[in-house]
Copies of this chain bind each other. A is one copy, B any other.
Amino acid sequence: MPAPGTQILIETLPRLMAPCDVAVVGPTYAEHAAAWGRAGHTVRPVSDIAGVGDARVAVVVNPNNPDGRVRPAQALLALAETLQARGGFLVVDEAFADFEPVESVCPQVGPGLVVLRSFGKTFGLAGLRLGFAVADSERAAALAAALGPWAVSGPALAIGRAALADRPWLAANAAARAGDAARLDRMIARAGGTLIGGTRLFRTAAFPDGPALFRRLGEAGIYVRRFAERPSQLRFGLPADKGEWCRLSRMLR
Which B residues are CB-close (under 8 A) to A38? 145
Residues of B within 8 A of A152 (CB): 4, 129
Annotate A150-186 by CB proximity to B: 1 below 8 A, 0 otherwise.
1111111000000000000000000000000000000
Assembly CA distance A8 to B152 (angstroms): 10
Query: Given contacts A129-B4, A129-B153, are A148 and B11 in contact (CB under 8 A)?
Result: yes
A206 touches B (CB below 8 Å): no
A146 is an interface residue with CB less than 8 A from chain B: yes
> Within 8 Å of chain B (Cβ to Cβ): is A147?
yes
**A7 CB to nearest chain B CB (Å):** 4
Contact of A153 among B7, B15, B145, B155 (CB under 8 A): B155
Complex interface: chain B residues within 8 A of A126 (CB): 150
CA distance A126 to B15 in the complex (A): 27
**Do B154 and A127 touch across chains, with their CB atoms under 8 A apart?**
yes
Query: Interface 1/0s, chain A 1-36, versus B by CB < 8 A?
Result: 000110110110001000000000000000100010
Q: What is the total number of residues of chain A having a CB less than 8 Å from a CB of chain B?
A: 26
Of residues A38, A127, A152, A153, which shows the largest number of chain B Cβ atoms within 10 Å of its Cβ?
A153
A149 located at the interface, meaning its Cβ lies under 8 Å from any Cβ of chain B in the complex: yes
Decide: B7 and A151 in contact? CB cutoff 8 A: yes
The answer to whether A153 and B153 touch (CB under 8 A), given A4-B4, A4-B129, is: yes
| A196 CB, min distance to chain B CBs, angstroms | 25
Interface residues of A (CB under 8 A from B): 4-5, 7-8, 10-11, 15, 31, 35, 38, 126-129, 145-156
Additional pairs, 17, CB under 8 Å, beyond known A4-B152, A11-B146, A11-B148: A4-B4, A4-B151, A5-B150, A5-B151, A8-B147, A8-B148, A8-B151, A10-B148, A15-B15, A38-B145, A127-B153, A127-B155, A128-B155, A129-B152, A129-B153, A129-B154, A153-B153
